[in-house]
Structure 1
Amino acid sequence: MPLSTSDRSLMEPVIRRLNMLKPLSAEARASLEYAMFEGLQRAGTGEDLISEGDPVDSVRVVLSGWLCRYKTLEDGRRQIVNFIFPGESCDAHAFLLRVMDHSIATMTPVVFTEIKRPRFESLVGGNPTLSEAFLCETLVNNAIQREWAINLGRRVALERVAHLFCEIFERLRPVGIVEGNSCVMPITQMDLADATGLSVVHLNRILQELRASGLIVLRERALTVPDFNALKNAALFSPSYLQLYRRG
């Protein structure tokens, strides 16, 4: 059965992101669209799609909404170790491991697709460009984790928060979610604090400083960056680790 225009539109962020990493053939695109359509699911805010210690038997790909990867200490303190945005997978190759080493939770309502391991292996096995695109995405995720480690270990608080905002912009831009110099910012200050290793009080102080400097505007669940180059300079940010520019 042919997919409807609305179905294809829903899956477009995934196609755009993978195609940015590795040009997809028309056959690969069609095969992926059908595989995603078969496993469409929805989840509300604050739900764990998978928890630390759970067995992994499928690939989850996000079509809309925001999620986070996190770990929790025994005393309840949480560290967000990455965000997952539309078009991105929740680790395309995680099923090669026995169990998850972290949890993945929704931060907004989300639409995602779940592709079981046999279906995914058949999909990428028959489409070399698709296989390479998902592998590239895994490598980019590894690069993002290294950058987050530098954020927590070496950047001062203002650089840390500014760097996160720059990264969010650059990760949302290729999938068409940035409009001009603004993007949605549907998460709480607690989420931002848990992602940057700051207390909520300290984070609030940094946000006030970024606002006062004219580097950001945060209003009505939207982030506006009047001068992106100025924010990049404040953050010591270079987007090269995100592999935004296709090499072919």
Structure 2
Amino acid sequence: MARIISGPETGADGRERGALPPATQGGAAVSSASNDHSLDRLIRKLQSIAILSDKERQALLSLPAKTRVLKAGHDIVREGDKPSQCCLILNGWACRYKLIGGGRRQILSFHVPGDIPDLQSLHIHTMDHSLAALSESTVAFIPHESMRDLTTRFPNLAAILWRDTLIDAAVFREWMVGMGRRDAFERIAHLFCELYLKLQAVGLAQSYRCSLPITQVDLADALGLSNVHVNRVLKEMREQHVVTLRGGALVIEAWDELMRACEFDPTYLHLEKGAAA
């Protein structure tokens, strides 16, 4: 099993976000992860896009990891930081984002358990965007030196992690198509299809139902829409009995219809088991 060590967290700043410092710095105490959380989420995620050997699975489970429980809105890493560790989402949701003038936010991606959203920090040393918890989240921090040692000893794992970053780029391309060419209904429908399949791949969705702890403001900031427009589309989806989003839970009532409405093709996710069930 992974060596799980609790660690400190800084408090929130004036904007009610708290970027996490290196583990050697002090700060407010944070609850450690429960025994239900381990690096098994990472195994599940990587096995959704590739085949792992027993030795590779054991090597991943043996990674040293420090866990922290973060409140919604807390920054994990900020634009301009030079992190020395990667962040693995064990429980909860996170997002990449950038802020522009007037505090306007563009969400660049959503991340679910099993994702390592700042894996690129292994090779791109200065963060060009920020990463924050969207909901209360349990996060594991893995030192860069441990990740580099892992990829040196297990070249196939290095290839799988590279594959994961390439799939990440494919998701960015699909979001770009959505922002440029899909209408509001299609953008939201496409995102719901994507997120459902990602959650299903790591065992967090079934029977077209899943947790979706993101707000209408989050959807608006991710899809280039106004909050009012998002609200209108969600109401339309509900009235058409296609999708219901209420209380942080997503229910897809008409999967085939939802896919047709946005011409969703899951190929870009490159999942070993990409079909919904």
User: Normalised by the size of structure 2, how large is the TM-score?
Assistant: 0.83
Aligned to 1:164: 191
Relative contact order, higher structure (CA 8 A, sep 6+) = 1
Specify the alignment match of 1:239 in structure 2: 266
Aligned to 1:24: 52
Distance in 2 between the 1:185 and 1:117 partners?
30
Shift of 1:34: 1.9
Give the stretch that moved more between structures: 105-114 or 9-18: 9-18
Q: 2-side partners of 1:2 and 1:50: how far apart?
A: 23
* Residue 9 of structure 1, CA deviation: 5.6
1:191 is displaced (CA, Å) by 0.6
Is the 2:86–2:143 Cα contact (8 Å) retained in structure 1?
yes
Hey, what does 1:33 align to over in structure 2? 61
CA RMSD of aligned residues (A): 1.9
Return the match for 1:154 from 155, 162, 181: 181
Deviations 1:191-245 (A, max 9, x none): 1111111110111011111111111012222110012111011111111000013
Q: Which SS does the other structure have where 2:110 is aligned?
A: strand
Unaligned regions of 5+ residues in structure 1, if any? none
- State which of 220, 223, 235 in structure 2 corresponds to 1:208: 235
Q: Distance in 1 between matches of 2:243 and 2:194?
A: 14
- The 3-state SS of whatever aligns with 2:51 is coil
For residue 56 of structure 1, report the CA deviation from its aligned partner: 2.6
Q: Once the two structures are superposed, what CA deviation does each residue of 1:153-200 show, in whole Å capped at 9, x if it has no partner? A: 110111011111111101111100003110011111111111111110
Q: In structure 2, what is the Cα distance between the partners aligned to 1:222 and 1:27? A: 37
Greater CA drift, 67-76 or 21-30? 21-30
Cα distance in 2 between the residues matched to 1:15 and 1:179: 19
Q: What residue identity is the alignment partner of 1:29?
A: R
Please tell me whether the aligned partners of residues 22 and 129 of structure 1 are also in contact (alpha carbons under 8 angstroms): no
Q: 3-state SS of the aligned residue for 1:100?
A: coil
Matched-pair identity in %: 37
Q: How many residues align?
A: 244
Q: Hey, what does 1:145 align to over in structure 2? A: 172
The answer on whether the counterparts of 1:22 and 1:132 sit within 8 Å (CA) in structure 2 is no
| Map of 1:10 onto structure 2 | 38
Partner of 1:76: 103
Alignment of 1:94 with 2:82, yes or no, is no
Asked if the contact 2:106–2:222 (Cα under 8 Å) also holds between the matched residues in 1, the reply is: yes
Give SS of 2:86's match: strand
Distance in 2 (alpha carbons) for counterparts of 1:177 and 1:2: 21
Matches within 5 A, 1:44-63: 44-63=71-90
Find the aligned partners of 1:154 and 1:20 in 2 and give their Cα distance.
29
> Structure 2: how far apart are the matches of 1:3 and 1:107?
26
- Structure 2's unaligned 5+ residue stretches are 5-33
In 1, the alpha carbon distance for the partners of 2:209 and 2:250 equals 6
In the aligned structure 2, how far is the partner of 1:80 from the partner of 1:184? 19
In proportion to residue count, which structure has more helix? 1
Question: What corresponds to 2:256 in structure 1?
Answer: 229
Q: Alignment partner of 1:176: what SS?
A: coil
Q: Is the 8 A contact 1:23 1:129 kept in 2?
A: no
Shift of 1:12: 2.3
> 8 Å contact 1:19–1:133 — kept in the other structure?
no
Equivalent of 1:115 in 142, 155, 169 = 142
Change (3 A) 1:98 1:13: closer
Shift of 1:20: 2.1
The residue identity in structure 2 corresponding to 1:112 is: V
> TM-score w.r.t. structure 1 length?
0.93
Give the secondary structure class of the aligned counterpart of 1:82.
Answer: strand
Matches within 5 A, 1:174-193: 174-193=201-220
